[in-house]
């Protein structure tokens, strides 16, 4: 849950001042050192150590305790399921368990080089293992089992033990797939979309492809029954194909990628949200926080040795050109009139670099179309907006009243373009549009919103209050600072509900906390939000090195501040507790900041001076009525029971590899899961529609229409949205029923720096 919020400009300057005071001579030293030792990895270690010690809110002591933590995190990251390393490897590695702090100080790469080379060796050996194992049929009559609790499993002592572990893992994967195939065939090939009927896949994410492949293949096959032997063979083939793709992806990773894993094992010991961005990762982060990029507007994915167009981004140049389509394979890339470069077999990141480029430039793609024909397509690059990043709204009629729902996926901003889109401006625009539609209440949905820009939080919260503090910020060793909404204008003074869940983090929590402390709206959702109460700054490492000839060094995202509610409490670990708690299926799983190792502690400071919202006569009554409805609602009771069942299922790690016992166990699970089927079949019977301006866009954009149709359909099945609308009903008063549209005032432009 790596989320970022922006720093105040003044704090960022102070941080850089501290760093630059020490870096002036440091930069000269680096230049000299780099000539003697051009190793980029050593330079990165020196820079990271320096910046963390000078800039982190509470820097960790570089000692044996830190060394033990780095060692544990790194080894687990390299081989989480213990399918590569032998115990002899671990014995050799463990000699360095208390030496990594010294290696870090001395910029010594001995441990990294040893583990990297050994991992490459073991992964190459493993490719031979799975290919050999999957050549012959499994005997599913043998009474044996496999435990998927990898954390507690010992490392294999011998190659024979390791091969046996691979055999059992692969047998479990194929057995799960075979069971699905047999069931589908028994049901005459009908593939169920009911999530409750699909057993939890016990293996790693990459191997989930085998189960998905099963469904696709079965759906394409004719209705002619296949023998057990034929089905068994096809499961091994699909599993082998999935692993081929996995190892193909791993082959694309180079030494720099693995060194990033090592560096992030170091940074994670400072706190969970401090981490290193390699150049490509920094670029992806910039795109995610701004929602824009310069390129052709196509999503790419690796398909064996080829790069495949997986999706066209609506409104982008490739979409507008109507020549490129999903499923096309990219064979060559040329810049303008230059000679085309063959990209077959090239790393996906390298292909992306060649296709992306500045607005107004030409790229020519040699494409193998789905029908097998070869075509050269010229595309002029442009600014591409990733629509999924941005806020969107819908309206719904309920009990003779009209309500608006705004969904905000993240608190986005474009720091490079002050005139670009940001969440603050967009939410203000959506509020104005809803007011023009004469809505009687607004739901702001920040479920699953992991955060983003702090400046946009202040802008958004300010839309709903007259003026006052929004959030407090504290830097190490300095007095607190308070960020205010100073505009007396209230853009929306009617009923307001904020929807959150356990994945609402950082900036989402600031917004929910401010609205809750003012008693401006009702917070409804999970028992508590994620619990991330820290501020990160992304620092470009290249700025600290003069005459750097080693290439882009990337960036460091480091925790520099903590933020606090206006009531003085921190959201760190505790998050924001909902006014109305709604059961959800993942209530009992450990997924919050409080469950993350090295999370910073909770604390509190003095409250800010603020005045509680007065126009909330029905506030307490609305909360009470909602709690009563939820307690009496059989659907919510079923969700709560399902959550407890999921929690118990998450503790079950032992799987029989005997097909009869496995099928019996899966049947029992499916029978139990049938009880929870109404959760997925639920419909609230409400009709959600786009606003007039968007209705016009939809007539010209089928992709947008399909996305909005899917969103509106999901809203019509969302019991949580339904209850949020019920709360809006309860908040109604005669005054706000007469609410009329008011013009949006000029947004506050106290932008809080070109930092994160």
* Same-domain status, 339 and 447: no
Residue 29 lies in a domain: no
| Gap between the Cα atoms of 683 and 403, Å rounded | 18
Tokens 């603050």, residue located: 424
pLDDT surpassing 80 at residue 34: no
**Lowest pLDDT segment from 132-146, 215-229, 242-256:** 215-229
Domain boundary among 361, 385, 409: 385
> What is residue 4's predicted lDDT score, i.e. its pLDDT?
42
pLDDT surpassing 90 at residue 133: yes
Domain boundary among 269, 303, 324: 269
* Same-domain status, 468 and 395: yes
pLDDT digits (tens, 9 = 90+) for 697-751: 898 888 889 889 999 999 999 999 999 999 999 999 854 443 433 333 333 333 3
* Same-domain status, 468 and 545: yes
- 15 pLDDT band, cuts 50/70/90, is very low
Output DSSP code: residue 542: G
* Same-domain status, 242 and 320: no
pLDDT surpassing 70 at residue 268: yes
> What is residue 755's predicted lDDT score, i.e. its pLDDT?
28
* Same-domain status, 370 and 490: no
CATH number, domain containing residue 323: 2.30.42.10
Residue 37 lies in a domain: no
> What is residue 32's predicted lDDT score, i.e. its pLDDT?
35
- 370 pLDDT band, cuts 50/70/90, is confident
| Gap between the Cα atoms of 393 and 400, Å rounded | 20
* Same-domain status, 397 and 326: no
Tokens 């495949």, residue located: 308
> What is residue 153's predicted lDDT score, i.e. its pLDDT?
95
pLDDT surpassing 80 at residue 100: yes
Residue 255 lies in a domain: yes
User: Strand 401-407 relative to strand 441-445: parallel, antiparallel, unpaired?
Assistant: parallel
User: Strand 392-398 relative to strand 374-380: parallel, antiparallel, unpaired?
Assistant: unpaired
> What is residue 271's predicted lDDT score, i.e. its pLDDT?
95
Mean pLDDT of 27-51: 64
Q: What percent of the chain has pLDDT over 70?
A: 87
| Gap between the Cα atoms of 501 and 732, Å rounded | 24
pLDDT surpassing 90 at residue 348: no
- 494 pLDDT band, cuts 50/70/90, is very high
* Same-domain status, 381 and 422: no
Structure tokens that stand for 297 in this block: 């507007």
Query: Structural domain tally of the chain?
Result: 3
The structure's pTM equals 0.85
Structure tokens that stand for 464 in this block: 């709903």
Residue 289 lies in a domain: no
Distance of CA 556 to the CA centre of its chain: 19
Residue 619 lies in a domain: yes
pLDDT surpassing 90 at residue 363: yes
Residue 631 lies in a domain: yes
Q: What is the mean pLDDT of the chain?
A: 86
Domain boundary among 269, 302, 317: 269
- 394 pLDDT band, cuts 50/70/90, is very high
Mean pLDDT of 412-441: 93
The Cβ-side half-sphere exposure at 552, using a 13 Å CA radius, reads 13
* Same-domain status, 401 and 371: no
* Same-domain status, 343 and 443: no
User: Which candidate, 583, 564, 599, 569, places its Cα nearest to that of 501?
Assistant: 583
Structural domain range at position 197: 62-269
> What is residue 230's predicted lDDT score, i.e. its pLDDT?
93
Residue 55 lies in a domain: no
* Same-domain status, 564 and 655: yes
pLDDT surpassing 60 at residue 205: no
Which residues are paired to 534 by β-bridges? 562
CATH number, domain containing residue 623: 3.90.226.10
> What is residue 16's predicted lDDT score, i.e. its pLDDT?
39
pLDDT surpassing 50 at residue 471: yes
> What is residue 740's predicted lDDT score, i.e. its pLDDT?
36
> What is residue 2's predicted lDDT score, i.e. its pLDDT?
37
User: Strand 392-398 relative to strand 580-581: parallel, antiparallel, unpaired?
Assistant: unpaired
Mean pLDDT of 81-88: 97
pLDDT digits (tens, 9 = 90+) for 502-544: 999 999 999 999 999 999 999 999 999 999 999 999 999 998 8
Residue 306 lies in a domain: yes
* Same-domain status, 355 and 432: no
> What is residue 734's predicted lDDT score, i.e. its pLDDT?
53
* Same-domain status, 362 and 399: no
pLDDT surpassing 50 at residue 112: yes
CB atoms within 10 A of CB 489: 16
> What is residue 223's predicted lDDT score, i.e. its pLDDT?
58
């Amino acid at each position: 849950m790596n989320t970022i919020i922006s720093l105040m400009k003044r704090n960022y300057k102070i941080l850089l001042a501290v760093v630059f005071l020490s870096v002036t001579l440091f930069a000269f030293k680096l230049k000299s050192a780099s000539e003697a030792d051009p190793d980029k990895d050593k330079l990165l270690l020196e820079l990271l150590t320096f910046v963390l010690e000078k800039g982190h809110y509470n820097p960790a002591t570089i000692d044996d305790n830190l060394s033990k933590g780095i060692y544990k995190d790194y080894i687990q990251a390299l081989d989480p399921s213990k399918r590569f390393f032998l115990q002899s490897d671990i014995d050799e590695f463990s000699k360095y368990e208390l030496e990594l702090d010294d290696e870090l100080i001395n910029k010594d790469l001995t441990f990294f080089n040893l583990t990297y080379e050994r991992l490459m060796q073991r992964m190459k050996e493993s490719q031979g293992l799975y290919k050999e194992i999957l050549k012959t049929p499994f005997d599913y009559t043998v009474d044996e089992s496999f435990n998927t609790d990898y954390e507690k499993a010992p490392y294999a002592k011998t190659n024979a033990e390791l091969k046996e572990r691979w055999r059992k893992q692969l047998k479990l994967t194929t057995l799960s797939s075979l069971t699905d195939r047999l069931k589908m065939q028994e049901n005459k090939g009908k593939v169920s979309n009911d999530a409750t009927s699909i057993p939890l896949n016990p293996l790693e994410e990459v191997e989930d492809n085998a189960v998905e492949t099963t469904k696709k293949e079965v759906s394409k096959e004719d209705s002619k029954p296949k023998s057990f032997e034929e089905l068994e063979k096809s499961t091994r083939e699909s599993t082998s194909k999935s692993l081929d793709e996995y190892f193909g992806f791993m082959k694309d990773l180079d030494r720099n990628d693995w060194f990033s894993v090592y560096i992030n094992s170091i940074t994670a010991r400072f706190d969970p949200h401090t981490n290193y961005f390699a150049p490509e990762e920094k670029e992806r982060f910039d795109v995610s926080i701004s929602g824009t990029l310069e390129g052709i507007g196509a999503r790419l994915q690796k398909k064996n040795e080829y790069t495949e167009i997986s999706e066209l981004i609506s409104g982008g140049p490739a979409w507008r050109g109507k020549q490129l389509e999903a499923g096309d394979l990219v064979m060559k890339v040329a810049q303008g009139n230059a000679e085309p470069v063959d990209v077959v077999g090239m790393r996906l990141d390298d292909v992306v670099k060649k296709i992306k480029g500045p607005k107004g430039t030409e790229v020519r793609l040699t494409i193998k179309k789905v029908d097998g024909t070869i075509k050269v397509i010229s595309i002029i690059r442009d600014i591409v907006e990733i629509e999924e990043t941005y806020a969107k709204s819908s309206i719904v009629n309920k009990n003779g009243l009209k309500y608006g729902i705004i969904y905000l996926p993240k608190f986005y901003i474009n720091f490079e373009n002050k005139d670009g889109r940001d969440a603050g401006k967009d939410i203000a625009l959506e509020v104005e549009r809803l007011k023009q539609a004469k809505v009687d209440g607004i739901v702001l949905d920040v479920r699953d919103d992991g955060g983003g820009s702090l400046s946009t939080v202040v802008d958004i919260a300010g839309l709903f209050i007259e003026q006052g503090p929004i959030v407090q910020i504290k830097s190490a060793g300095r007095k607190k600072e308070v960020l205010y909404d100073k505009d007396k204008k209230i853009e929306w003074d009617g009923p307001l509900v904020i929807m959150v869940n356990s994945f609402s983090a950082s900036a989402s929590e600031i917004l929910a906390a401010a609205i809750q402390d003012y008693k401006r709206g009702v917070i409804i959702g999970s028992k508590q939000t994620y619990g991330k109460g820290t501020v990160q700054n992304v620092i470009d490492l290249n700025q600290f090195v003069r005459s750097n000839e080693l290439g882009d060094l990337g960036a460091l995202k480091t925790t520099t501040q903590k933020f606090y509610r206006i009531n003085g409490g921190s959201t760190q670990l505790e998050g924001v507790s909902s006014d109305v708690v709604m059961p959800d299926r993942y209530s009992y799983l450990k997924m919050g900041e409080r469950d993350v190792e090295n999370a910073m502690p909770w604390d509190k400071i003095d409250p800010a001076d603020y005045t509680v919202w007065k126009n909330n006569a029905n506030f307490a009554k609305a909360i009470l009525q909602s709690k009563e409805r939820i307690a009496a609602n059989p659907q919510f009771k079923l969700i709560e029971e399902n959550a407890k069942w999921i929690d118990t299922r998450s503790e079950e790690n032992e799987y029989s590899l005997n097909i009869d016992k496995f099928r019996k166990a899966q049947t029992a699970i499916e029978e139990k899961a049938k009880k929870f089927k109404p959760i997925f079949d639920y419909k609230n019977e409400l009709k959600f529609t786009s606003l007039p301006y968007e209705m016009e866009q939809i007539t010209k954009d089928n992709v947008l229409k399909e996305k909005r149709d899917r969103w509106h359909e999901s809203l019509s099945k969302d019991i949580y949205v339904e209850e949020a609308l019920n709360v809006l009903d309860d908040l109604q008063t005669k005054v706000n029923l007469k609410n009329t549209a008011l013009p949006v005032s000029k947004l506050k432009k106290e932008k809080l720096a070109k930092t994160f």
